[in-house]
Structure 1
Amino acid sequence: MWGRTIGMRNSMQDILIIEDNEELGILIRDFLIRDGYTVEWKTSAEEGLKLVEKAAFKILLLDVMLPGMDGYEALQQLRKKHGIPVLMMSAKTDDQSKILGLEVGADDYIDNPFSFPVLSSKIKALIRRSYDMREDKEILTYRNISMNVNDRTVFKNNRQINITGKEFDVLEYFLKHPEKVIKKEVLFNEVWGADCFSEMSSLTVYIRWLREKLEEDPKNPVLIQTVWKIGYKFGGSIEK
């Protein structure tokens, strides 16, 4: 079956591949799994974009020549909401095609056919450049939001935003428990401590501040959702 799922899990995965050629898709997927990555593979841009809305990935490998929506159009759609690093793969090796890919939002470009060692090198470099990953750092990511726990820095669409103090602690808890309903009391106790003298109303203030910095429309939040009479949910579907 094309576009099969490999190693599906709720937490962030490493790589999403969008490649319609079955033989090449299998080769890339199997090579990356042997290289130690967790991988998802889809055969159309439409399927891939739907998956990005539901799951978090460190990097996207995007073919240019796809059925239906091509790679350029898919990247334009992706960049409206997500800052995930993108490595474009294409048999179009002319400069104009590469320039177009970079102009619409690609982070790097690899000519197809390519050698797997070169692909591996580009992936490692792109991940390192995008997340500045080192062994002593912990990176949490959900959709277009990423957090470096050790440096206490937060990025939206790869741009740093000013989130510090208890705001950071609340967001860290959300990122460690994505798409789960969290009771207000649990969140407050985890961040402030059960013996804290602060009022529960403090949590509401920090939630509002986070929404102002993270949401496209803070008055109609889709990232930090209120679950009526219970608490909050970070990401996932909107409660009706």
Structure 2
Amino acid sequence: MSRVLVVDDDPRLLRTLSIALRGHGHEVLTSADGRGAVQAALEDDPDVVILDLGLPDIDGVEVLQQVRRASIVPVIVLSARHDSDDKIEALDLGADDYVTKPFGVEELLARVRAAVRRSSEGTRAIGTVSTDRFTLDFADRRATVEGEVVRLTPTEWRLLETLCRNPGHLVSQQDLLRQVWGPSYGRESNYLRVYANQLRRKLESDPSRPMHLITEPGLGYRFVL
């Protein structure tokens, strides 16, 4: 049974989601404000957090940042904001998925299942991946380049984890998008270009001629040791 923390200041939505989640076998925790959400996320050990950005006390973005400083629990953001910049900001700050209101309950349940699945896959030890230039310690989420610690965002770690589970093998754009960003993604190839370029600047000796994070144009990406 998965434990899901639902954070929203709308009591009707909290009730609706609680009933739906319990009906599908999840244990449900709820919070109607940001402070309670941070406390519950860090103390009650949920498997997934469903987080509304429009909270009465602390903005949901700040809640996300506070949670991410101490936890890698999957976070599905709920928001009435449809702008792609808002989505990119939330994802780059560590959200695992982004759902715009209004939404279908069945769709959200599918995203919760996907988040739980990705989280359980992520707990399978990849161990440490090392090249002549950099080392990626997936257990501790610690990256070093020529001995210096380099900060990677949660999204960058998820992208690397997906690629490093199958080193040397092509992972399609669609599979990468769905595994890193969620089941509703599959055509946003620009996301992959942005994050791949960020990772190359951080890890590769010559980002314009990468040796490890390789693009197969029109197909996908592969990680080469």
Task: Please state which band the TM-score falls in when normalised by the shorter chain.
Answer: 0.5 to 0.7
CA distance in 1, matches of 2:57, 2:140: 36
2:40 is equivalent to residue 51 of structure 1: yes
CA distance in 1, matches of 2:18, 2:27: 9
Contact 1:59 1:85 in 2 (8 A): yes
CA distance in 1, matches of 2:31, 2:18: 10
Question: How do residues 177-192 of structure 1 correspond to structure 2 at under 5 angstroms?
Answer: none
2:73 is equivalent to residue 84 of structure 1: yes
Shift of residue 152, structure 1, vs aligned partner = 10
In the alignment, what sits opposite 2:211?
none
In the alignment, what sits opposite 2:215?
none
In the alignment, what sits opposite 2:11?
22
In the alignment, what sits opposite 1:159?
138
In the alignment, what sits opposite 2:30?
41
CA distance in 2, matches of 1:104, 1:152: 23
In the alignment, what sits opposite 1:218?
none
| Letter in structure 1 aligned against 2:105 | F
% of aligned pairs identical?
A: 29
Shift of residue 159, structure 1, vs aligned partner = 3.4
Shift of residue 95, structure 1, vs aligned partner = 0.7
Shift of residue 56, structure 1, vs aligned partner = 0.8
Question: How do residues 135-214 of structure 1 correspond to structure 2 at under 5 angstroms?
Answer: 159-161=138-140
CA distance in 1, matches of 2:2, 2:121: 17
Shift of residue 126, structure 1, vs aligned partner = 1.2
Contact 2:21 2:28 in 1 (8 A): yes
| Letter in structure 2 aligned against 1:159 | F
Contact 1:13 1:56 in 2 (8 A): no
CA distance in 2, matches of 1:159, 1:110: 27
Q: Deviations over 1:174-199 (max 9, x none)?
A: xxxxxxxxxxxxxxxxxxxxxxxxxx
What runs of 5+ residues in structure 1 fail to find an aligned partner?
Answer: 1-11, 134-146, 163-240
Contact 1:29 1:39 in 2 (8 A): yes
The CA RMSD over aligned residues, in Å, is 2.5
For residue 103 of structure 1, the aligned residue among 84, 87, 92 is 92
What runs of 5+ residues in structure 2 fail to find an aligned partner?
Answer: 128-136, 142-225
When the two structures are aligned, how many residues end up with a matched partner? Answer: 133
CA distance in 2, matches of 1:34, 1:72: 29
